[in-house]
Structure formats: C-alpha cells, structure tokens
Amino acid sequence: MLQLIQTEWLKWNKQLIFRIVTAFYLVLLPGLLLLGKRLPELPPPVGTTEVLYIFPTIWNYQGYIGGWLCFFFLGFFSVISITMEFNNRTLRQNIINGWSRQDVFLAKIGSVGALSLLATLYYVLCVLIIGYLNTDVVYLSKVFQEASIIPRYFLMCFSYMTFGLMIGFLVKRTVIAVFLYLIYIMMLEPAWRWGVHRNMWEHKSMHFYPMNAVEDLIPAPLSPIAEEFVEQAGFSLFLTPNEAIITTLVYTCLLYTSPSPRDRG
C-alpha cells in the first residue's frame, strides 16, 4: 500500500493544480479565521471576535472553515485527479505496466486517506498555535476539551474526497464532473431536502442525506438559530456528532463496496 501511495504522490506532485490547491488550503485555513481580527465585532450569534481564537471554541470555528475548504479544494482536486487520468490515459497505462485494477483502486483510496490525514494534522497545528497565542490561561483539559472534532475532521475530508472520486470515475469528463460535484452539494441536495422532503414530511430524516451528514460532522456554530429551528420544527437543525459519524461511514462504505472500476472489464 505504501508503495502505491508513493507512486500516486509522484504523479500528484507534478500537477500544477495539486500545488495550487495545496497552497490555497495551507494559506486560507488559518488566514480566513485570522481575518476576523480586523472586525470590531461579529453579527449574532458570535458577537465578540475573541471566541474565534481561544480554547476550546477555536476547534469549532476553525473546523467549520476547514469544512468549506475541504469541500471546495480537496474535493475539487479529487475530481480533477481522476478525470485527468482518464483524459491522459494514465489509468490504463498503470495496468499495462503491471498494476492490477485492485492496485489502481487501492492507490486512490490510500492517497485520499493520506491527504486527508495531512489536512487534519495541519488543522490541528493551526488550532494549537492560534489558540495558544490568544488564550490567556492555557491548561491541557481546556485545550483538548473539543478534541473529539479531530477524527470528525479527518472523516469529513476523506468523505468529500471519496465523493469526488466517485463523480470522477462515473463521469470521466473534467468540466462535467466538477460541475456535478459542486452543483449536487451546493444546490441539488439542499433543494431536495428543504424544498421537497421537508414540505412533504417535516421530519428529522431530512438531515440523513449523504453530503448533509458530512457537513454536520462539524456544523456551523449557530446556537440561537438552531434553537429557533427546534422550536419551529420540533427537531434539531443538525445531526448529532454520533449520527453524523455513523451516517457518513455508512454512505462511504457503500461507495467502496458497490461495483467499482476495479470490478469492471
């Protein structure tokens, strides 16, 4: 597996799009959070900007920003990495050079997992540095009070990239695949959940859609709005962490256990 990941890394490292995506993620993850320091205060429910940078709340706010970056940059690259291989015929060349279809498939899974792990480690590093510099009193229990977000962050990265892989494998054409990836997550699923499902059956089941479960791994910190939704609908605006984790794992496992390119002729 390690050799497969190393080979995949050599291919990725030569791609300009990979370097651009990586640079944007590395800069924007702490950068977007730190932009809040330029504002005197934030609109409700955040209010003071101090809550963005201190332990333990920084885990949530930095994680929420990271969720958008994972969706846009990591998922986007996941789609591109597959469609470019179809366009350049490098997937077929790998098989000609001696890889089995299973090797190709495992290389993609391993590479997605490795990149998700690196993205998560960088998220943790940003949180620890920014939180340490901005929290007056730092003690271990306070620092890691919300550390349960870390595995959820990894799962979120992995799931966005897995969904991108699936779209790339199915569509193969770069522009169409990227369009479908973005339009499904940003428009189609939300429109179905809120415009159709909720109007037909206002029930908590409207939250158990695949990409919404991924988003709810680290939801937006909007307590007053969430409480108002509970009063109106009778159920929470978000899945609980355990519900989001289980639902995401189920959908991800279904993607990897369904018929895949390694099974096709």
Q: What is the pLDDT of residues 2-27, one digit of tens each?
A: 888 888 888 888 889 999 999 999 99
Tell whether 192 is covered by a domain: no
Return the pLDDT at 263. 46
Locus of tokens 């994972």: 70
pLDDT tens digit sequence for 139-158: 888 899 999 999 999 999 99
Count of domains observed in the chain: 1
Interval 99-109: pLDDT, tens:
787 888 888 89
Residue 13 lies in a domain: yes
Alpha-carbon span 227 to 86, nearest angstrom = 47
Three-state secondary structure readout of the chain: CHHHHHHHHHHHHCCHHHHHHHHHHHHHHHHHHHHHHHCCCCCCCCCCHHHHCCCCCHHHHHHHHHHHHHHHHHHHHHHHHHHHHHHHCHHHHHHHCCCCHHHHHHHHHHHHHHHHHHHHHHHHHHHHHHHHHHCCCCCHHHHCCCCCHHHHHHHHHHHHHHHHHHHHHHHCCHHHHHHHHHHHHHHHHHHHHHHHHHHHCCCHHHHCCHHHHHHCCCCCCCHHHHHHHHHHHCCCCCCCHHHHHHHHHHHHHHHHHCCCHHHCC
Q: How confident is the model at residue 258 (pLDDT cuts 50, 70, 90)?
A: low
Residue 157, in any domain of the structure: yes
First to last CA, the chain: 23
In a domain, 7, yes or no: yes
Confidence of residue 29 (pLDDT cuts 50, 70, 90): very high
**pLDDT at position 118:** 97
Q: Distance from CA of residue 111 to its chain's centroid?
A: 15
Instruction: Tell me which of 23 and 254 has the higher pLDDT.
Output: 23
Residue 172 in any domain: the answer is: yes
Tokens at residue 18, please? 């990979």
Which residue range(s) make up the domain with 151?
2-176
What is the reported pTM?
Answer: 0.91
Within-domain flag for 265: no
The pLDDT of residue 264? 44
pLDDT in tens, 106-145: 888 999 999 999 999 999 999 999 999 998 888 888 899 9
CA separation for the pair 251, 257 (Å, rounded): 10
pLDDT over 80 at 97, yes or no: no
d(CA 252, CA 243): 14
pLDDT for 209? 96
- Is 222 inside a domain boundary? no
Residue 103: predicted pLDDT: 84
Which range is least confidently modeled, 47-61, 137-151, 250-264? 250-264
Position 254 in a domain: no
Position 254, amino acid = L
pLDDT, one tens digit per residue, over 158-217 is: 999 999 999 998 998 999 999 999 999 999 999 999 999 989 998 999 999 999 999 999
